[in-house]
Structure 1
Amino acid sequence: MKLKSIMAPPLLFALMAFTVLGAPQAFAAKTELKLGAAAADIGNLDPHFASSTSDRTLVAWIFGGLVRFAPGSTDPALIEGDLAESWEASDDKLVWTFKLRPGVQWHHGYGEVTAEDVVFSLEKAADPNRSAFASDYKAIKSVEALDPYTVRITLHNQVPSLLGLLTNYSGGFIISKKAYEERGEGFTRNPVGFGPFQFESVEPGVAVHFTAHDKYFRGKPKIEKVTYRLLNAPAGRDLAFTAGEIDVSAGTTDKRWLERMKQMPGTVVDIFDPAELTVIHINRNQKPFDDIRVRQALAYAINPKEIAEFRSSDFTRVAKSVIPSNNLGFNPDPGLVETNIEKAKELLAEAGYPDGLTIKMISSQMPSYATMDQLLQAQLAKAGIKLELEPVEHATWHQMIRKDLNPIVDYGAARFPVADTYLTQFYHSNSAIGAPGQVTNFSHCSVADKQIEEARTETDPQKQIALWQEAQKLIVADVCAVPVTETAQVWIRNDKLDWGYDLKGSMSLGPLLTEQTHFKD
């Protein structure tokens, strides 16, 4: 008894110490968020160049636009003010005036966001030497700062959706003029924005670190620290998530993986828009695809239905056109061919390839791309087309395909949901690789330039849609590209994490972190 009475106080003190010391640790854990990315490294965090899924996800936490998509939505009808608190347009929709919120602060003490930053950002977004999305802004005649909190945008002609070009997406992001000029090329990996989270550091190939922007105009974020771990291998992400090392993970578009995750206790699977349209872009300038019969053979050999079924109907559907199905102006029947292996072989023989042919393709090691390319490889082999894959890291792949090194490019993408954006970036000759306005026209397609251009200035909505639909028919007939599937975004998270909104969509292709994102008690 005496021994017990001597030992009890130290034990009591130890328990009290554990309780006292443990409480702050538990609290800290609830304000630190760790995510697992399907990427080996970051590429470019200048938002006007960010094109990979991982980079797009990050810049959306750092930067904002004049306006934004409501968190959790990709619906253009729900666009709301961001830096701009109000706006008005002239009757002819050619002059737009935006009133900015006073007092919005840049990260890291760069001061107040002003109209000068907006003018600088939009002029940069429209410059092909400083932006990958310049072609989207050709209709802008001028951007003027009328005073520190008023911006006037004047257009050469009406556009399908000016607000869409000014959202928190692609060229619409506003950057700090002072920070960009001071940091130069370093801005790409050390950016400054006014969003809820500020960039702190990057460990190449390991992680990207962020902290809460304490002066964020909507309020200090509930999450204080964010670590974005670079875990390119799906197995590595799964292990890290299962072990509790990360709270959120990019998913894998595989039905067996999905079923496994659904059964994991304490796990929520988020499936959300926009569905990325995967298209096989065919370079019409390179042999053997300068012969339309070879392009047609490729189209007949591909079986989109088989690929969609393999992926899982939970998040994958067969593509119906060369632009995404959620786009205004989508054509549900542009003339796509049905899979026909014998027809593919006949066309190859007519083109001078009775014994088939071999095609080399640089491919991404990102799991979703790797799976798609392997399925494509197996399908083409049935028609006598041997596809030799040369896998490279995803960021490197992005660089290489923009140098015309591939005769065919497997590319998945979602864009602002108005047909003009997708048609312009992927099928207008000005956007072809090597052109002054180079974007993502890997096919060097030019057959629908007239329709795409006329639709931009057409004021009759029905005639505008008809032009967009005609453009899709022309692109399909010329076999500039073969649409395959539409695949939604898939992520998993700890069920204690609350995004702070209903995640139905995210134009950044990953979960948007806001000031309301938090862990539930």
Structure 2
Amino acid sequence: MAFTLPKAQVLAAILAGAVLAPLSAHAAKTELTLGAAAADIGSLDPHYSASTTDRTLVAWIYGGLVRFAPGTTDPAQIEPDLAESWDVSEDNLVWTFKLRPGVQWHHGYGEVTADDVVFSLQKSADANRSAFSSDYAVIETVEALDPHTVRITLKQSIPSMLGLLANYAGGFIISKDAYEERGEAFSRQPVGFGPFQLDSIEPGVAVNFSAHEEYFRGAPKLEKVTYRFLAAAAARDLAFMAGEVDAATGIADPRWLQRTKAIDGATVDIFDPAELSILHINTNKAPFDDIRVRQALAYAVDPSRIAQHRGADFTRVAKSVIPSNNLGYTEDNGHMTFDPDKAKALLSEAGYPDGLTVKMISSQLPSYESSNQILQAQLKEGGFTLELQPVEHATWHQMIRQDLSPIVTYGAARFPVADVYLSQFFHSDSAIGKPGAVTNFSHCDVADEQIEAARTESDPEKQAALWQEAQQLIIKEVCGIPVTETAGVWARRENLDWGFEFEGSMSLGPLLTEKTHFTD
């Protein structure tokens, strides 16, 4: 959703005592400069791109067989991209895609063909060449029937086949010739068929793009794009104020929003996928192996206060153990609401009449740190003394993956189909310490049957019912306590038109298309 912000003659100082000029007027132009909350890029091989910056950029460079409609994260709005049409067998196991003829690669690499699609999907499924290989293990074969026809055969039916092939993670199609020619250099010399092609990388400074004039949807209205690295929030704010950047990564913080509202001619985009924060509880370790203690903890948590602190414009109260934009989400799951008296009564019943002290390893990342301090204060009302043990963010990631904290506050966004979040956070195969460990810090196993059954259920209504039952079981067992959902946020000049209503982005940043332009 976009907010048109009021004009002001003077901006309240970003830095103490500073008075800055409003944005100056600009004539219509065709060069766009963006300010990124990053110090550099990692990999622009889309099958390895994991950071927000990398994901944002690869979405401009590459495409998939299909794509999320620009501005959305809704799997129901997936539409054709490289593929112009497709057929599906009755058992949903054989998918045949007809490719658009004449689609061109960047930098003169010629036409995109079925061989490129076969190569890309085989690479996505190869653990030695992809970080997302497990997602593609369900594919039995990928075949080029002719230069413009691809047949994909699955081992079993899956919840969202089109999602697997969309413009996200392993679904991006790359140039076989360019990859084989450039080898390891491909990650910084990528070749796609998207609306913008990479021209150069200035390490730690910027990434420079130009329009892909042969883009099959039409030449982009923007001729050049510069993605500047401005890791410090104050640096991005000042660059935006000075007119050095046309749009910049924002901060999900009410004070930042208030400052940005004071800028003449600014607009803020707040978009999904929102990052769901859950307080995961290790159900295997005392005292949390007692469900009464887990229930007490759930009653002692007041998500509304954390949401209010983080900013109501960006943050909403979470009401399930999967994000609200996920296919299969339900609020009808029996989640508990704040009641400190019930929390104390349950603790007393469990043998802790004088309360309970709990230690939690916590990240020093500011967003985590502030939320955990609020959590600490409110848990005190419910009889819990929370002792925070703060560590550097990377160290925190290592420690929680060694089961060193009995409770873990973790925020994440995933592909918006319930199976992904449920499988990674609440299926026993994903429990920390297991061979298939992902992020199941709770060691939850109460919904394995429903999660597995939903993966192969071909009836959408029955599939949704299984996902909803899984959420109800996980909530009842108190494997995790939903806390908040925090959306992404960018500031931009009001004369910059993305070319669509910016309500969501699977690339975690603004999607640039052939329609993105300045209005004056």
TM score, norm. by length of structure 1: 0.83
Name the counterpart of 1:4: none
Structure 1 segment 67-146 matched on structure 2, within 5 A: 67-146=66-145
Question: Separation in 2 of the partners of 1:511 and 1:341?
Answer: 41
Q: CA deviation at 1:254?
A: 1.8
Q: CA deviation at 1:252?
A: 1.5
Question: Separation in 1 of the partners of 2:503 and 2:60?
Answer: 17
Structure 1 segment 249-260 matched on structure 2, within 5 A: 249-260=248-259
DSSP-derived class of the 2:267 partner? strand
Structure 1 segment 200-211 matched on structure 2, within 5 A: 200-211=199-210
Q: CA deviation at 1:439?
A: 4.3
> Could you say if the C-alpha distance between residues 461 and 450 of structure 1 is closer, same or farther in structure 2, counting changes exceeding 3 Å?
same
Q: Deviations over 1:275-329 (max 9, x none)?
A: 3322233455678766666655543443211111222332321111001223232
DSSP-derived class of the 1:327 partner? coil
1:239 maps to amino acid: L
Where does the alignment leave 5 or more consecutive residues of structure 1 unmatched? Answer: 1-25
> Could you say if the C-alpha distance between residues 75 and 227 of structure 1 is closer, same or farther in structure 2, counting changes exceeding 3 Å?
same
> Could you say if the C-alpha distance between residues 358 and 414 of structure 1 is closer, same or farther in structure 2, counting changes exceeding 3 Å?
closer
Name the counterpart of 1:52: 51
Q: CA deviation at 1:152?
A: 0.4
Q: Deviations over 1:337-370 (max 9, x none)?
A: 223456656777858896613322344x3x5445
Name the counterpart of 1:470: 469
The reply on whether 1:388 has 2:389 as its aligned counterpart is yes
The reply on whether 1:418 has 2:421 as its aligned counterpart is no
Q: CA deviation at 1:151?
A: 0.5
DSSP-derived class of the 1:229 partner? strand
> Could you say if the C-alpha distance between residues 343 and 453 of structure 1 is closer, same or farther in structure 2, counting changes exceeding 3 Å?
same
> Could you say if the C-alpha distance between residues 518 and 484 of structure 1 is closer, same or farther in structure 2, counting changes exceeding 3 Å?
same
Name the counterpart of 1:229: 228
Name the counterpart of 2:361: 360
Name the counterpart of 1:455: 454
Question: Separation in 1 of the partners of 2:280 and 2:39?
Answer: 25
Q: Contact (CA 8 Å) 2:66, 2:162: kept in 1 or not?
A: yes
2:509 maps to amino acid: G
Q: CA deviation at 1:125?
A: 2.6
Q: Contact (CA 8 Å) 1:252, 1:368: kept in 2 or not?
A: no
Q: CA deviation at 1:62?
A: 1.6
Q: Contact (CA 8 Å) 1:293, 1:347: kept in 2 or not?
A: yes
Name the counterpart of 1:429: 428
DSSP-derived class of the 1:356 partner? strand
Q: CA deviation at 1:67?
A: 0.5
Q: Contact (CA 8 Å) 2:105, 2:175: kept in 1 or not?
A: yes
Question: Separation in 2 of the partners of 1:194 and 1:285?
Answer: 49
> Could you say if the C-alpha distance between residues 303 and 82 of structure 1 is closer, same or farther in structure 2, counting changes exceeding 3 Å?
same
- Select the structure that is richer in helix: 1
2:473 maps to amino acid: L
1:356 maps to amino acid: T
Name the counterpart of 1:158: 157
Q: Contact (CA 8 Å) 2:75, 2:327: kept in 1 or not?
A: no
> Could you say if the C-alpha distance between residues 267 and 327 of structure 1 is closer, same or farther in structure 2, counting changes exceeding 3 Å?
same
Q: Contact (CA 8 Å) 2:197, 2:211: kept in 1 or not?
A: yes
Question: Separation in 2 of the partners of 1:204 and 1:296?
Answer: 50
Q: CA deviation at 1:217?
A: 2.2
Name the counterpart of 2:511: 512
Name the counterpart of 2:20: none
Question: Separation in 1 of the partners of 2:128 and 2:344?
Answer: 44
Q: CA deviation at 1:377?
A: 4.7
Name the counterpart of 1:23: none
Moved more, 334-343 or 481-490: 334-343
DSSP-derived class of the 1:488 partner? strand
Name the counterpart of 1:276: 275
Q: CA deviation at 1:398?
A: 9.7
Question: Separation in 1 of the partners of 2:345 and 2:299?
Answer: 10
> Could you say if the C-alpha distance between residues 359 and 202 of structure 1 is closer, same or farther in structure 2, counting changes exceeding 3 Å?
farther
Q: Deviations over 1:86-105 (max 9, x none)?
A: 11112332211101122323
Question: Separation in 2 of the partners of 1:401 and 1:191?
Answer: 35
Question: Separation in 1 of the partners of 2:126 and 2:435?
Answer: 10
Question: Separation in 1 of the partners of 2:127 and 2:504?
Answer: 29
> Could you say if the C-alpha distance between residues 283 and 214 of structure 1 is closer, same or farther in structure 2, counting changes exceeding 3 Å?
farther
Moved more, 80-89 or 416-425: 416-425
Q: CA deviation at 1:58?
A: 1.8
DSSP-derived class of the 1:221 partner? coil
Question: Separation in 2 of the partners of 1:287 and 1:186?
Answer: 50
Name the counterpart of 1:5: none
Q: Which has the larger radius of gyration?
A: 1
Question: Separation in 2 of the partners of 1:172 and 1:489?
Answer: 22
Q: Deviations over 1:14-58 (max 9, x none)?
A: xxxxxxxxxxxx88x922211122234334433233333333222
Question: Separation in 2 of the partners of 1:487 and 1:361?
Answer: 19
DSSP-derived class of the 2:392 partner? strand
DSSP-derived class of the 1:482 partner? strand
Question: Separation in 2 of the partners of 1:143 and 1:432?
Answer: 32
Name the counterpart of 2:246: 247
Q: CA deviation at 1:186?
A: 4.3
Question: Separation in 2 of the partners of 1:359 and 1:402?
Answer: 10
Question: Separation in 2 of the partners of 1:223 and 1:190?
Answer: 21
Report the count of equivalent residues: 490
Question: Separation in 1 of the partners of 2:208 and 2:403?
Answer: 34
> Could you say if the C-alpha distance between residues 126 and 206 of structure 1 is closer, same or farther in structure 2, counting changes exceeding 3 Å?
same
> Could you say if the C-alpha distance between residues 35 and 195 of structure 1 is closer, same or farther in structure 2, counting changes exceeding 3 Å?
same
Q: Contact (CA 8 Å) 1:428, 1:452: kept in 2 or not?
A: yes
> Could you say if the C-alpha distance between residues 219 and 479 of structure 1 is closer, same or farther in structure 2, counting changes exceeding 3 Å?
same
Question: Separation in 2 of the partners of 1:42 and 1:287?
Answer: 43
Structure 1 segment 285-434 matched on structure 2, within 5 A: 295-296=294-295, 298-341=297-340, 350=350, 356-363=357-364, 365=365, 368-380=367-379, 383-392=384-393, 396=394, 400=398, 403-404=401-402, 407=405, 408-432=407-431
2:103 maps to amino acid: V
Where does the alignment leave 5 or more consecutive residues of structure 2 unmatched? Answer: 1-25
Name the counterpart of 2:489: 490
Moved more, 92-101 or 442-451: 442-451
2:308 maps to amino acid: E
1:67 maps to amino acid: V
1:221 maps to amino acid: P
Question: Separation in 1 of the partners of 2:295 and 2:187?
Answer: 41
Question: Separation in 2 of the partners of 1:403 and 1:49?
Answer: 21
Q: Contact (CA 8 Å) 1:380, 1:387: kept in 2 or not?
A: no
